[in-house]
Amino acid sequence: MDKAIDLRSKCKHFRVLIIGRANAGKTTLLKRVCNSVEDPEIYSAKNEKIDVSIVEGSAERGSHDIENQLIFKSNPQFIFHDSRGFESGSVDETDKVKAFITKRAEGNSLAKQLHAIWYCLPTDTNRPLLKIDDKFFGTYGTGKVPVIAIFTKFDGLVNKAYTELVDNGLSEDEAEEKLTEKAEELLQTNFREPLSRATFPPSDYVQLDDMREPTTSCNELIEKTANALTDDTLKLLFVSVQQNNIDVCIRYAVDR
């Protein structure tokens, strides 16, 4: 306990970079993790609050500048960075992401360090892994910073599986019975297998059902992030910043 208090005096937050193409479900997920219906507040790298009403190009743009820090009032102990680079796929922007990871990964104080990366991959799409995803997992070593691959919109993949089964001649009842199995199979072949063969595979994988539904849980993401942290200090920090996922903290404490 003393260790946790000492740690919290040095660093009050856990810093996450969220990556993913446009429309991947990033903002919806962050809101859920922080139990917020409101958009986050945006702070510059120098911790100055950015008034989104006067920033050119609107709030959308401010939230996508990787250097900016997104903080939800409902859970200010999490600081998020959201990258635009993986949407446009332009070399410049992706280099920015790589430079950000390198700069924040090492030689920094605990407070400035990047502690984890959440890499969102929408599963309801016809283009599972893009070139940019191959590039990330093929060439971007992130050092000690764990990368959790998050398969978002699994509900959409289940719908796709249903359509595919019916198109292949199954009755609606038969398709209904087989759709979860089929969706899992699509996830395996289109996402998990290619990712696990990459030079720098993710530390872990999480699949998320419809995050727009208030009842869908994101506990698995919290648990897997805790497990992926190899450093005990960071694990303790992560557990100590949880306020909406208390059961994870309790389980972690009991396990210890």
Task: Record the tokens describing residue 94, joined without a space.
Answer: 């992706």
Question: At closest approach, how far in Å is the CB of 40 from Mg ion?
Answer: 10
Name the residue type at position 239: V
Does 93 interact with ligand GTP (rule: CB under 6 A)?
Answer: no
Is 167 exposed, middle or buried, given 0-12, 13-18 or 19+ CB atoms closer than 10 A? exposed
Task: By CB under 6 A, tell whether 241 contacts ligand GTP.
Answer: no
Q: Is 27 in the site for Mg ion (CB under 5 A)?
A: yes
* Interacting positions 158-217 with Mg ion (CB under 5 A): none
Contacts of ligand GTP in 209-238 (CB under 6 A): 210-212
Smallest distance, ligand GTP to C-beta of residue 93, A: 13
Q: How many residues bind ligand GTP (CB under 6 A)?
A: 16
Q: Please report which residue ranges of the chain form alpha helices under DSSP H.
A: 2-10, 26-33, 58-63, 85-88, 91-105, 131-139, 154-167, 172-187, 193-196, 219-228, 232-240, 246-255
Is residue 153 within the footprint of ligand GTP (CB under 6 A)? yes
Residue with smaller CB distance to ligand GTP, 39 or 249: 39
Please check whether residue 18 is in contact with residue 82, taking contact to mean a CB–CB distance below 8 angstroms. yes
Evaluated on CA atoms 177, 184, 219, 78, the torsion sign reads negative
| Interaction of residue 23 with ligand GTP, rule CB under 6 A | yes
Specify the residue, 118 or 238, whose C-beta has the smaller distance to ligand GTP.
118
155 vs 164, beta carbon nearer ligand GTP: 155
Q: Interacting stretch for Mg ion, rule CB under 5 A, among 22-30, 99-107, 144-152, 195-203?
A: 22-30
Q: What angle do CA 196, 179, 174 make, to 5 degrees?
A: 145
Full strand arrangement of the beta sheet holding 14-19 = 41-43, 69-71, 78-82, 14-19, 116-122, 147-152, 204-207
- Minimum gap (Å) between residue 189 Cβ and ligand GTP: 21
Shortest Cβ distance from residue 27 to Mg ion (Å)? 3
Judged by CB under 6 A, the stretch of 5-13, 21-29, 171-179, 229-237 that binds ligand GTP is 21-29
Cite the beta strand spans of 20-84 per DSSP E.
41-43, 69-71, 78-82
The minimum distance between CB 30 and Mg ion, in angstroms, equals 8
Report, in Å, the least distance between residue 181 CB and ligand GTP: 20
C-alpha span between 168 and 127 (Å, rounded): 21
- DSSP code of residue 189: I
Residue 155, binding choice from ligand GTP, Mg ion, none, Cβ under 5 to 8 Å by partner class: ligand GTP
The structure tokens 């942290």 sit at 229
Which stretches of the chain bind ligand GTP, using CB under 6 A? 20, 22-28, 87, 152-153, 155-156, 210-212
